[in-house]
Structure 1
Amino acid sequence: MSVFPKISLRPEVENYLKESFVNKEVVSASRKQEAERKFETLLTNLSHPPSFTTVRVNTHLASVERVKSLLHVELQKQFNGLSVPILQHPDLPDVLLIPVIGPRRNIKKQQCEAIVGAQCGNAVIRGAHVYVPGIVSAPKFMKAGDAVSVYSDIKGKCKKGAKEFDEIKIFLGNGISEVSRKEIFNGLPDLRGIGIRMTEPVYLSPSFDSVLPGYVFLQNLPSAVVAHVLNPQPGEKILDLCAAPGGKTTHIAALMRDQGEVIALDKIPSKVEKIKQNASLLGLNSVRAFCFDGTKALKLDIIDDTEGAPPFLPESFDRILLDAPCSGMGQRPNMACTWTLKEVMSYQPLQRKLFHVAVELLRPAGVLVYSTCTVTLAENEEQVAWALTAFPCLQLQAQEPRIGGEGMVGAGLSPEQLKQLQRFDPSAVLLQDMDTESLRDSRREDMILLANKDCIGFFIAKFLKCKSTGEKASQK
């Protein structure tokens, strides 16, 4: 059952999303009432966490069984002896699933209230402690060691440094303050450690702050599917066109057994450093990260020698992952999105520019995987329909493993084409309470099925380049 309000969107953005989920083809395939019910379920589920925390094991450094054993010990410590199962995904052998306990409805609220920003609040719901930069408001006399109730300011109305806040705030649970109010707001500007250690969160998820570094990577389930769909092979040259923070990049390298070359691009220097740090932490030497704009990664001047750095000559890569910048409307939990409709719609042209570069850089018989973490029709199925028309050299391919549902109708794709896509739809299941008793009574198969369905919104399409690009494809 819902414990948080549905995601708060600007009216024009909500209407735009609704047009996708209640489009003519959807309504003709089912009743309008059913389509509208699913859309409302989507809005509610987006503000809540998925039912499982997903951890990808770095099989380059450790076996899944060893990491699973180490995680059992860690969870026992974090959950004060509470027994929570750790499941190995049957179709993703390097993925472990940990049930999220909650919502816990009988937590006694404290008089001392701290307010955190919406993004910090989202992280707390998924198991993080509250770090000092995320704290917006704290009581006048709050000191280290105080019991504190933590609330999320989902509307962004609380002023930094406020002593109290009486507008809309969402209860996230209780914790113990590690610092005083004075240290938070009058202390050193680089104070970035844990400000409040969560002890009674509404949703009990494991914290992965400095837990098994090098062995595990916290990753949403659909994100872990992508590299398997790309199916990289040892010795290949692979491009991750929009790579930060490097979760999929490092997954690709691990699946290749660190044999070959994985080129990772991002145009923000700090994000490129994060990719390099993650590759180093995971012990992967095949990753080469560059600070470069993916839309300019195609080399047009053959005379210019960049010595393996971007831009690249046409048809240089065996496989390409285009995990495109997107509106992110599938991320969970997300209680509020302040984006304008113009901002939400701005991604489709950028995605097409990147798509054009990716097709040009892919060798004949090469594989291109396109993915997003959004639920809009325009950034997903419409992009597939456009690509198949704009690039006759591309053929849509079936995906393995197949965990998500088929694509959404409304973009003019055939039923056969829709079955070749994977759409992870947060409205696929109703929210469920999960406690230790229900876990004991649950069959493993049922828990895996729930994990597959109750995850973030995501989309994957796989293409084969069946011939050389030839003439320039249309970018219209």
Structure 2
Amino acid sequence: MFYPKSPFIKNQLVESQLFSRNPSGINTLLEWMCRTPSTTTYRINPLLSSITDFSAKLQAILSTKYKNTPKIFSINGIPEVICISKLDEVPKLPSKDLKEVMVDSSCGAAVLRGAHIFAPGVLSMQSGTKLGEMVNVFVDLEGKCKKGTSIVFESEQKVFIGTGEVKMQRYQLYGENIANHGIAIEMLSNISGVPSIGDLSSKDALLQNFPSIVCVRVLDPQPNELILDMCAAPGNKTTHIVELMGDTGTVIALDKTENKVDLIRQKIEINGIKSIKAFAFDSTKLLHESINDSKLDNPPFGPCKFDRILLDAPCSAIGNRPLLSSNITPKMLKSYPNVQKKLLRNAVGLLKKNGVLVYSTCSVTEDENEGMVKWVLEQFPEMILIEAVPIFGGPGIKEAGGLTEEQRHLVQRFGPTEYNRGVPVDSIGFFIAKFVKIS
């Protein structure tokens, strides 16, 4: 088992409130964080496709590539989800007869989730490697391999992650005409057992983490409502909201930077969506008490405008698995709750009476999750915590953040499978809480 190379991750989790009551739990959590989720999930667009059609497409791809095809299955209660289980047989050791390719930790994590290797992720490739040649793929956990290395990279902190077929040669990766996109290595197998089929996302279906799909189901958008997605890029949850609404009503999708909002606009164009309005705007500055009109041409907006708000907040993201390395610092980790509080304050003000707010993160820390729920309940008596159904994750951590026993069972936290209350879908770390504004 390999652990995140930043010692801060382990130290901070041990010292945080999350493990101050149970320090022994850190090893269980770290092992889980470093393992790859065993289930791959796609979200079908019911406006354009069906589970039956996409399942047939998956089956054809998997049966061509694998003799013993992995199981394809659906989830009761979320009809737009289709899952692929991992393979039974996986490579454990590199072949002595194959040359070596080294990738960075970000690329390595994607490979373990079933991705192929794109050109920017290749750190080294041995001289003389030919098109179509099979290679061993390693990940550089320490980040010390220099880009363009042409010999075997020697390090105790490199880990074999699978084998693949070369689709680009060295001159394309490091020469004068460098390829900034395209598949450099098509993976044939990896040590996680997740099928190496790449990303089959299209307008018909989208590769998406299971808790992110659950999150929008918890929001429960209804036709013709006015909904705000406060931190929307790249737009995966936004398009899910639209699909559940049948592309009726209006969804305001925001993110801070124009290039991130362009990703949302691309999805709007590809899918022919009519009900999304996307803006580049800082949602911590979104509420203006002096604005009384109902126009939604441009942010900021006046109070009590929206029927439902999704705040998938900026967070430390240390629930993303597998976590092979991390550059997060103590200062960075401590900064996220401050931003989350600003966003939540705006969200409460923008929500109509009887409106619904769903708060989520892909973090495992208490301060960003249970602690933030407690803060909302203390600061805003008009906000009531309700059950985040449908529930597939586990309850909040016992005694975490000052939540009562009842309150921790209203939220859901995705973590090691023994904590899950619903179907056994192995996923990234995630947290979901749901509020209603009663006045």
Q: Same fold (TM over 0.5)?
A: yes
User: Is 1:162 matched with 2:159?
Assistant: no
User: In 2 relative to 1, CA 135–271 (structure 1 residues): closer, same or farther, beyond 3 Å?
Assistant: same
Q: Which residue of 2 is the match for residue 152 of structure 1?
A: 139
- Give CA deviations for 1:314-358 in whole Å, capped at 9, x if unaligned: 111000000000000100111111211111121000000000111
**CA separation in 1, counterparts of 2:235 and 2:43?**
13
The amino acid of 2:434's aligned partner reads K
SS of 1:93's equivalent in the other structure is strand
Q: Is the counterpart of residue 463 in structure 1 residue 424 in structure 2?
A: no
2:270 partner amino acid = L
Quick one: percent identity of the two aligned structures? 40
Q: Deviations over 1:123-157 (max 9, x none)?
A: 11111111111101111222322221111112111
2:12 to 1, 13, 16: 16
Q: 1:345-360, aligned counterparts within 5 Å? A: 345-360=334-349
Deviates more, 1:319-328 or 1:168-177: 168-177
* Structure-2 separation of matches of 1:305 and 1:466: 21
- Cα distance in 2 for residues equivalent to 1:412 and 1:106: 44
Counterpart for residue 69 of structure 2: 83
1:336 aligned residue (325, 345, 348) = 325
Shift of 1:281: 2.5
How far does the alpha carbon of each residue in 1:388-434 deviate from its partner, in whole angstroms, 9 at most, with x for none?
0111110000121111111112211110111101011136389xxxx
The higher-RCO structure (CA 8 Å, 6+ apart) is: 1
Does 2:280 align with 1:294? Answer: no
Deviations 1:48-84 (A, max 9, x none): 211100111111212222222222222223x244322
CA deviations on 1:87-136 (whole Å, 9 max, x unpaired) are 11012111111102257244542441111111111111111111111101
Q: How does 1:426-441 map to 2 (within 5 A)?
A: 426=416, 428=418
In structure 2, the CA distance between the partners of 1:271 and 1:102, relative to structure 1 (3 Å rule), is farther
Whole-angstrom distance in 2 between the partners of 1:81 and 1:359: 53
What residue number does 1:472 align with?
Answer: none
User: In 1, distance between residues paired with 2:243 and 2:347?
Assistant: 22
Alpha carbon RMSD of aligned pairs, Å?
2.2
Give the distance between the partners of 2:314 and 2:281, measured in 1 at CA. 14
Cα distance per residue 1:358-411 (max 9 Å; x no partner)? 111100000000000000000000001111011111000012111111111221
* TM-aligned CA distance change 1:215 to 1:363, over 3 Å: same
1:6–1:45 contact (8 Å) kept in structure 2: no
Per the alignment, residue 98 of structure 1 pairs with 84
- Taking the aligned partners of 1:143 and 1:348, their CA distance within structure 2 comes to 50
The within-5 A match list for 1:437-456 is: 449-451=423-425, 454-456=426-428
Matches of residues 215-364 of structure 1 in structure 2 within 5 Å? 215-302=204-291, 307-364=296-353
Tell me how far 1:211 sits from its aligned partner: 2.8
The alpha-carbon deviation at position 188 of structure 1 amounts to 1.6
List gaps (5 residues or longer) in structure 2: none
State the AA in 2 paired with 1:184: L
Structure 1 unmatched ranges of 5 or more: 28-34, 431-445, 468-476
1:128-207 to structure 2, matched below 5 A, reads 128-163=115-150, 164-167=152-155, 168-206=157-195
Contact kept in structure 1, 2:221 and 2:244, CA below 8 Å: yes
Deviation, 1:175, is 1.0
Partner of 1:40: 27
Report if the CA contact (8 A) 1:374-1:458 is conserved: yes
Whole-Å separation in 2 of the counterparts to 1:74 and 1:212: 14
**Of 57-66 and 247-256, the range deviating more from structure 2:** 57-66
Q: What is the match of residue 385 of structure 1?
A: 374
1: CA distance, partners of 2:248 / 2:293: 28
Number of positions where the alignment pairs a residue of Structure 1 with one of Structure 2: 434
Which of 52, 60, 65 is the equivalent residue of 1:73?
60
Q: Secondary structure at the match of 2:78?
A: coil
2:110 equivalent to 1:114: no
2:415 to 416, 425, 432: 425
CA deviation after TM superposition for structure 1 residue 191, in Å = 3.7
Q: Contact between 1:103 and 1:203, CA under 8 Å: does it hold in 2?
A: no
CA contact (8 A) 1:238 1:263 kept: yes
